[in-house]
Amino acid sequence: MSARLTPGDEAPAFTLPDADGNEVSLADHKGRKVIVYFYPAALTPGCTKQACDFTDNLDVLAGAGYDVIGISPDAPEKLAKFREKENLEVTLLADPDKKVLDAYGAYGEKKNYGKTYMGVIRSTIVVDEQGKVEHALYNVRATGHVAKIIKDLGI
């Protein structure tokens, strides 16, 4: 498990396949602010709520200069099903080997019902136009999180 990012850190570079198998890099968004959020699994209730919230607020976020990228360990095929089923408009990227999740501190030890295990830590990292971390939020809730981000960013 790698260390969590803090504001001012250089956002780790990445290139991952999207739901259609196309390569998407953080560098593709240079010059724009990017909200990169990490979620445990497509097609699950909490992750669906979060992805739908981001989609519902995409116009507001894009209007304020933010792109939104969601990253999970799911395969591109599962992300495509997720996108179609829920009519998602956010960019969904696949990180099955969890290298990017780890680089962003979004993969590590979790506790649930007294059990400790390794898993995805629901996290949101806001990256500025120069590729630096502006906000690093860990262990966020799926519900109400997007509204909080909008408020915190002053949008």
pLDDT (tens digit, 9 = 90+) per residue, 119-152? Answer: 999 999 999 999 999 999 999 999 998 999 999 9
d(CA 81, CA 107): 24
* Count, residues in the chain: 155
Confidence of residue 3 (pLDDT cuts 50, 70, 90): confident
Does 117 or 26 have the greater pLDDT score? Answer: 26
C-alpha separations of 16 from 11, 47, 50, 128 in Å: 15, 19, 21, 20
Tell me what the pLDDT averaged over the chain comes to.
94
d(CA 137, CA 4): 9
Which pLDDT does position 1 carry in this prediction? 53
**Active-site residue flag, 52:** no
31: amino acid identity, one letter = G
Total Cβ atoms within 10 A of residue 65:
13
Please say if the pLDDT value at position 2 is more than 80: no
Helical H runs in the chain? Answer: 45-56, 58-63, 76-86, 99-103, 145-152
Q: Which two tokens stand for residue 14?
A: 């990445």
> What are the counts of helices (DSSP H) followed by strands (DSSP E) for the chain?
5, 9
Asked if 121 and 108 touch (Cβ cutoff 8 Å), the reply is yes
| Angle, CA of 107, 104 and 95, to the nearest 5° | 65
Tell me the per-residue pLDDT of 8-57, one tens digit each, with 9 for 90 and over. 999 999 999 999 999 999 999 989 999 999 999 999 998 999 999 999 99
Which pLDDT does position 55 carry in this prediction? 96
d(CA 146, CA 122): 13
Specify the range with the lowest mean pLDDT, choosing from 18-27, 79-88, 109-118, 126-135.
109-118
Q: Which of 47, 69, 90, 93 is catalytic?
A: 47
d(CA 114, CA 94): 29
Which pLDDT does position 90 carry in this prediction? 96
